[in-house]
Chains A and B, each alone.
Chain A
Amino acid sequence: MASRTVSWLLARSISSSGPRSALLSRGKKLGLVSRGGIHRYNSTAAAAEEPITPPVTVPHTQLLINGKFVDAASGRTFQTLDPRTGELIANVAEGDAEDVNRAVAAARKAFDEGPWPRLPAFERQKILLKCADLVDKHNDEIAALETWDNGKPYEQAAKVEVPMFARLFRYYAGWADKIHGLTVPADGPYHVQTLHEPIGVAGQIIPWNFPLLMFAWKVGPALATGNTIVLKTAEQTPLSALYVARLFHEAGLPEGVLNIISGFGPTAGAALASHMDVDKLAFTGSTETGKIVLELGAKSNLKPVTLELGGKSPFIVCEDADVDQAVELAHFALFFNQGQCCCAGSRTFVHEKVYDEFVEKAKVRASRRSVGDPFKAGIEQGPQVDSEQFEKILKYIRSGVECGATLETGGERFGSKGYYVQPTVFSNVKDDMLIAKDEIFGPVQSILKFKDLNEVIKRSNATRYGLAAGVFTQNIDTANTLIRALRVGTVWVNTFDIFDAAIPFGGYKMSGHGREKGIYSLSNYLQVKAVVTPLKNPAWL
């Protein structure tokens, strides 16, 4: 059933719409949402149906430390919930500082004494290829687990995300034996080389919006370069990482190389970020939490930190754009993955000449979006990940209405159970409205009008974020001007959410530090050692 071919993912030229190699990231804990607001909820037949029973059982709920599944030191567990219903999926071991200590010790030992960094790179490559093969083999189970825990459409998980996960590991496998230092010119008779060495124990904290892909973005380059890892998953989505990590051990990953801690940010996450024996930290999540992580890195052992944080990415539709295509892509850019993408095109700037047509069509497209049980075929949008996100999004929608933006469609809860939100479109959005400034992380499209290029550049850049941008134009000069003028880490021109393994991703400004994926991601996990020795009577310099 699930197409697992990478070529399918890459056949982007065939169609200009629909989720292709899409994804994005984010783990958040924004505390600004008040509880208990009263909303007018619509009840619909679709959501009233009994949820489909997920075609998978939960294989692992314990922590994975030193190659073994173990309970938390405290014995505590937490509940991971089904976002379709808010009901319990499983009780999961809750890692805290003591578990992080154990995991770091295991990773330390695996790095300092174990075989992993000492294996010929070629052998590491082979194990990573085997990991990818095993994930392919269990594609549908892994996808089902991901959907159950996260709420994303099963077809998206099974046909795009799990195959992309395997693809990413194959990509990084290929890097393992091609990590080159340099021989460096010297000003005098010296022989100079750089060695690119693994940095050591990497702490990685990943979000809940793309649990598997964020795992791959972090773990892939760290393993290819010979590091050992303690990975903390998001408390909303602990399940898929435990499963694939077990498969990795079956593929031959030595014990202690990849340790998985389920748990919460303020406890397990903070312990990892401030650990004195962790050599590197990589975090994907909210800008607020990213600040805390960076601070903990600074206060503890000055570990270098890679951050991939929030965004409020502009999607710019110029006057010469093909409006139908632009509507479809703008819709995809925002609504994909329930709007839970850090690079979501959440500020849709449309040129005044095509604005009215665009708004009308965007409204129609959003109102046709199929929302429902993510296990059901043909569903485009499942529930938001949890009640906190759900409430937060509804609060932002209220704020939009209160500020005077025009609610074109949606605006309310979808159904009566679980965390479904109607696809929502606002027009007449002004730059100073909260919905145009804050990252909503939900299915809420804000459409803004612009007149000329310089104006839209200025307004696009008037944000603390700088993760991504979409540009829709047929004019090469307009495209080239926008590409360079936008202060963001990724510009998609006449496309959006293309996330190939080789394309680097990361933020300007408060959207983060460093880049993931591609050749750039390797440097996050490598130390550079310069080696200098005098040369006697060199034949040349």
Chain B
Amino acid sequence: MATNHSNGSSDDATSLVEIPPPKIRFTKLFIGGDFVDSVSGRTFETIDPRTGETIAKVSEGDKEDIDLAVGAARRAFDHGPWPRLPGAARAKIMHKFADLIDQHIEELATLDSLNAGKLFAWGKAADIPSVANTLRYYAGAADKIHGEVLKMSRELHAYTLREPVGVVGHIIPWNFPSTMFFMKVSPALAAGCTMVVKPAEQTPLSALFYAHLAKEAGVPDGVINVVNGFGPTAGAALASHMDVDKVSFTGSTEVGRKVMQAAATSNLKPVSLELGGKSPLLIFDDADVDKAADLALLGILYNKGEVCVASSRVFVQEGIYDEFVKTLAVKAKDWVVGDPFNPKSRLGPQVDKNQYEKILAYIEHGKREGATLLTGGKPASKKGYYIQPTVFTDVTEDMKIVKDEIFGPVMALMKFTTMEEGIKAANNTRYGLAAGIVTKSLDTANTVARSIRAGVIWINCYFAFDNDCPYGGYKSSGFERDLGLEALHKYLQVKSVVTPLYNSPWH
């Protein structure tokens, strides 16, 4: 039976759920349409975060492998059919790709759960079906890329062409291995680009499966290449490659800075960055406390807090603060920590030892700085990387747990008095990825929505992602947008074409 975290050391839910031994079908690099060993022959171990044990050995890509992959993508772009196909024909292949994903949902969800500690039930019901839908969304956009005919001030005819940018490097994180893969790959495919994807070293498995399905769907060889490996080697090689036309990166702000530097010092390739966050959730006096507490917990505990848009700073207006704290403490107990294959679990293990130790260190730091633990604060098991849902109160804005992105199930709960003060506190961060507002007041919602310097604002909801809804960061949370038609434009160049006009009856 599942137990909740607040019962301390009991870890029934975290005890290993025996699953049929997964067949790991793909562990090599995918370059030019084939699975190949890395040039060096080296491999690295990928770990099951439930146990810390090895799942499989995966080929370790490095600079030479990136060179091969970029070469394949370059040829596919310069000479291959993909950018030359009508959008409708690309769409057809993308729809097929989506259908193939739908046929392998369980297998794919298993890979992400094993590799990242993500809840299997959610992967099966949400993550994997929704990546197929992201592909379908962009398939529907592939034949709707419009340029414009322009209004010139002289006797000139001019128009814009939106052309595929070329070879794209995608560097994706481990927290949503499937979602991030398709958030990057789908619009780039629709635009007619070719690409090299470097998945996170923690979660290489599902990306390779997708590469296999892409080939089966008819995506031409070289259009999607997958090179597993580490940031300082494979990632750096991709970001600084002279033949890569665009890099799209999702990850930490620190690494984002390096990616941008690498682009600047190589061929000045444009970069899009989706980086860290310390997103505020502002709960006003007129909020329904019950619903607000649910949203606050969802905002920080979903995917064990390993979410760049996690609501890690919760600001509650003073009129309902005490009631909110009480409600939150009770509701936090519903968030059962356990094996991701246990259907009762709502938090699985953190992705790896590194993250696990980092989060625990932040918790210790919070305690030392004088914050009060409302719930949690400890490991939730003896084995694997499980951490209790943790809420700090008596937090001040200068504390490290308020300033840094912890990337774990750790909430900093604060009080505010006026709207102006709440807005000021919410904006008091170097990040600007997302924000939540809970209020019944139209005026409050509208004022706060415009005042917070963040890329997405959720009013009386949280994590309301949608394929048509762009998201991305202000400030040090990055620039440019993923999802929506905005994301398509990341992968398109604008070319203006101008020619003189004679005897035109209008201008």
Contact = CB atoms under 8 A, between A and B. Distances in A.
Contacts of B137: 122, 177-178
Contact of A178 (B91, B451, B468, B499): B468
A177 B451 CA distance: 29
A7 B133 contact: no
Contacts of A485: 503-505
A533 B141 contact: no
B157 interface: yes
A538 B143 CA distance: 38
Interface stretch (B15-23, B38-46, B375-383, B441-449): B441-449
Interface string B122-140: 0000000000010011011
Interface string A164-185: 0001001101111110100000
B140 A484 contact: no
Nearest to B448: A539
A10 interface: yes
Contact of B157 (A480, A502, A535): A480
A77 B452 CA distance: 66
B152 interface: no
B85 interface: yes
A481 interface: yes
A539 B133 CA distance: 36
Nearest to B423: A539
A177 B502 contact: no
A480 B501 CA distance: 6
A7 B142 CA distance: 14
A477 B499 CA distance: 9
B133 A122 contact: yes
Given A125-B136, A484-B506, A539-B450, A7 B89 contact: yes
Contacts of A178: 137, 140-141, 144, 468, 485
Contacts of B133: 122
Interface in A485-525: 485, 501-502, 519
B83 to A, nearest CB: 14
A35 interface: no
Contact of A177 (B86, B140, B446, B501): B140
- Chain B interface size range: 35 or more
Contact of A484 (B89, B447, B504): B504
B95 interface: yes
A425 interface: no
A38 interface: no
Nearest to A171: B143
Interface in B448-505: 450-451, 467-468, 485, 499-505
A174 B140 contact: yes
Contacts of B89: 6-7, 10
B447 A170 contact: no
Contacts of A534: 443
Contacts of A535: 443, 446-447, 450
A476 B467 CA distance: 42
A477 to B, nearest CB: 5
A501 B468 contact: no
B146 interface: yes
Interface string A214-231: 000000000000000000
Contact of A477 (B88, B141, B485, B502): B502
A537 interface: yes
B450 A540 contact: yes
Contact of A539 (B86, B144, B451, B502): B451
Interface string A135-171: 0000000000000000000000000000000010011
A103 interface: no
A365 interface: no
A368 interface: no
B403 interface: no
Given A10-B89, A480-B501, A501-B143, A177 B450 contact: no
Interface in B90-146: 91-92, 95, 133, 136-137, 139-144, 146
A191 interface: yes
Contacts of A40: none
Nearest to A125: B140
Contact of B505 (A173, A484, A537, A538): A484
B154 to A, nearest CB: 14
A476 B446 contact: no
Contact of A174 (B91, B443, B499, B506): B91
Contacts of A7: 85-86, 88-89
A319 B142 CA distance: 39
Interface in A232-254: none
Contacts of B446: 191, 533, 535-536, 538
Nearest to A7: B89
Contacts of B500: 477
A170 B136 CA distance: 11
B504 A481 contact: yes
Contact of B502 (A129, A175, A480): A480
Contacts of A539: 447, 450-451
A7 B86 CA distance: 7
B504 A174 contact: no
Contact of B86 (A6, A533, A536): A6
A480 to B, nearest CB: 5
A176 B141 CA distance: 11
Contact of A536 (B88, B447, B503): B447
Contact of B447 (A175, A477, A537): A537
Most buried by A among B144, B157, B501: B144
A191 B139 CA distance: 33
Nearest to A167: B88
Contact of B468 (A129, A171, A177, A484): A177
Given A6-B86, A536-B443, A177 B467 contact: yes
Interface string A88-117: 000000000000000000000000000000
Given A177-B140, A178-B141, A10 B443 contact: no
B140 A175 contact: yes
A535 B448 CA distance: 10
A125 B141 CA distance: 12
A167 B485 CA distance: 21
Contacts of A484: 157, 501, 504-506
A519 B144 contact: yes
24 contacts: A6-B88, A7-B85, A7-B88, A10-B88, A125-B140, A171-B88, A171-B143, A174-B142, A174-B143, A175-B140, A178-B137, A178-B144, A180-B485, A191-B446, A480-B157, A480-B502, A481-B502, A481-B504, A501-B88, A502-B143, A502-B144, A535-B447, A537-B447, A540-B450
Given A171-B88, A178-B468, 17 more contacts: A7-B85, A7-B88, A7-B89, A10-B88, A122-B467, A167-B88, A171-B143, A174-B139, A175-B140, A177-B467, A177-B468, A178-B485, A480-B501, A481-B501, A484-B501, A538-B450, A539-B451
Interface of B: 85-86, 88-89, 91-92, 95, 133, 136-137, 139-144, 146, 157, 442-443, 446-447, 450-451, 467-468, 485, 499-506
**Complex A-B, nearest 3 residue pairs according to Cβ-Cβ distance, in ascending order:** A174-B140, A539-B451, A10-B86
